[in-house]
Amino acid sequence: MEARPPPSIPGPGWFCAFWPRTCPPRRSPSPNRSRGPNRIRGPNRIRGPNRIRSPRQGRRRMAEPSALLFVFEPLDTLFFRTGRPFNQDDPGAALAESLFPPNPPTLVGALRAALARLLGWSGQNDWPADVKAALGDGDRLAAGLRFHGPWLMRREPDGGWHRLYPAPASVVEMPAGTPAGRRFRRLQPSVTVLETDLGPDPIRLPAPATDERDAAFCRRPNGLWLTADGLSAVLKGKVPGQAPPGAPRCWYDEAELWAVEQRVGIGRDNATRRVEDGHFYIASHIRPARGVALALQVSGLSAELRAKVEAHRGELGVVSLGGEHRAAWLSCVAPPRPMFERTADAARRVAIALTPVRATAAMLEPQASFAGHDGLKITMVSALRADIAGGWDSVGSRPMAQHPLLAPGTTWHITCDRDLRDEDLPRSLGGMTDWGYGELIWGRDASSGGT
């Protein structure tokens, strides 16, 4: 393995969020690129009906959609840092774990850099004024620009991309060993009201929505990802089922989607080319399975940027993604249409986080107003283990403050006013929602009539 300088940047692998001063120059893809055998091609290139096509292909120009979906197909392993420092000068190994999917600024930074090159940025120095007007500057996004995601995508046999969703924390698995396969159940607020040290008011704790004898031994399934069918069942107050052979699946295990690979590296003095004492590192890389990718949905792009993306037929080429100078093939497709039915009016609902949420204490306080809405009261929270995210500001050349994050899948059990309409429910929570944090989706609580 090629030696690398000792990493000294604290925080996760999204130090690429602000690219202008850190990215090496790279040629922008040209619409007149080579057609010979040496042409660079991405794995599993978009060939389905959602691919953006130019008028030269003999088809009518695509109507301007409200949003575009940019897909990052990994060319090799990926490495996304967590909030743990990776510059420990101890004589032992310093282990850096990889977070997958990464936090939103990782993909936002990579995508903004790629779009900046389309607008003429050379890959060096600061962004020109016209690029800043279209994409923003540093952590300030341009007016109207909004990112959604990142999303985990899987290519289906029909050639299209389909989203996968983190399993809500309210979904638990019953003990194994039954001929019917895996059994999932829902958590709901307990009937018994308890006084605890979580606040002055009595609260309800999570309890399985079943009277089965082995319900006390249920556990959270680690690394479970739901398809649209699986999440749709959860939103209706049910659980993802076991699909019969040949039918569309409702869920995937993490092991089917990616694998973890350990990489060993050393720290080297570039001046003397000698290994430095104590600089021995182990990094956990992610190798996505074939047909698995990351995606970011974007709205508010300027007409000029849309035209340039379409001129490249949606194929933006190879981009740097995450740490260790890993690479991915960037393509643009039309986002799939929403597949979920509207939530039926109910007094009890659940709000499920689809992306990390920048946490505050009020989000986990029983009987508190949810998202500042007086008509929504928190009954119970099925929360996953919180994470700490930081980063590196490459424009200001300084580390960014770390902040707590609630993991995707965190579920709030909410008591709603009956006159509250579905369109009045908040669709995001917390700070930096225009970067992709805090995406919410609403469903019925298991105790409101689901099974």
Q: What is the pLDDT along the chain (451 residues), one digit of tens a residue?
A: 444 443 333 333 322 332 333 333 343 444 334 343 334 344 444 444 444 433 333 333 333 447 899 999 999 999 988 766 665 555 444 677 888 999 999 999 999 999 999 999 988 888 999 999 999 998 899 999 999 999 999 998 888 899 999 999 999 888 765 555 688 888 888 878 888 776 777 777 777 777 666 666 778 888 899 999 999 999 988 888 766 666 788 999 999 999 999 888 887 888 888 887 777 778 889 999 999 999 999 999 999 999 999 998 889 999 999 888 899 999 998 887 766 766 666 778 899 999 999 998 889 887 889 988 888 999 889 888 888 887 777 667 777 788 899 999 999 999 887 667 778 889 999 999 999 999 999 998 866 654 4
- Separation in Å, CA 246 to CA 159, 166, 249: 17, 23, 9
Contact between 97 and 82 under an 8 Å Cβ cutoff? The reply is yes
Nearest to 388 by CA among 51, 21, 99: 99
Structure-token match 């409702």, residue found:
250
Residue 349's nearest CA partner among 236, 250, 228 is 236
Length of the chain: 451
Task: State the Rg of the chain over Cα.
Answer: 23
Close Cβ partners of 419 (under 8 Å, ≥ 6 residues apart): none
Q: In angstroms, what CA-CA distances link 87 with 6, 10, 150, 279, 432?
A: 7, 7, 27, 8, 28
Distance CA 305, CA 254 (A): 35
What is the pLDDT at residue 357? 96
Per-residue pLDDT, 447: 66
Look up the pTM and report it: 0.79
Looking at the DSSP assignment, which residues form a beta bridge with residue 275? Answer: 268
Q: What is the pLDDT of residue 88?
A: 53
List residues bridging with 172 in a β-sheet. 185
Question: Alpha-carbon distance 126 to 20, whole Å?
Answer: 5
CA 151 to chain centre: 5
pLDDT of the residue at 85: 64
Phi, psi of 206, rounded to the nearest 5 degrees: -65, 140
CA triplet 258, 261, 266: central angle to 5 degrees? 150
| Cα distance between residue 374 and residue 187, in whole Å | 25
* Cα–Cα–Cα angle for 280, 285, 287, rounded to 5 degrees: 155
Write down the domain spans for the chain: 15-28+67-155+256-333
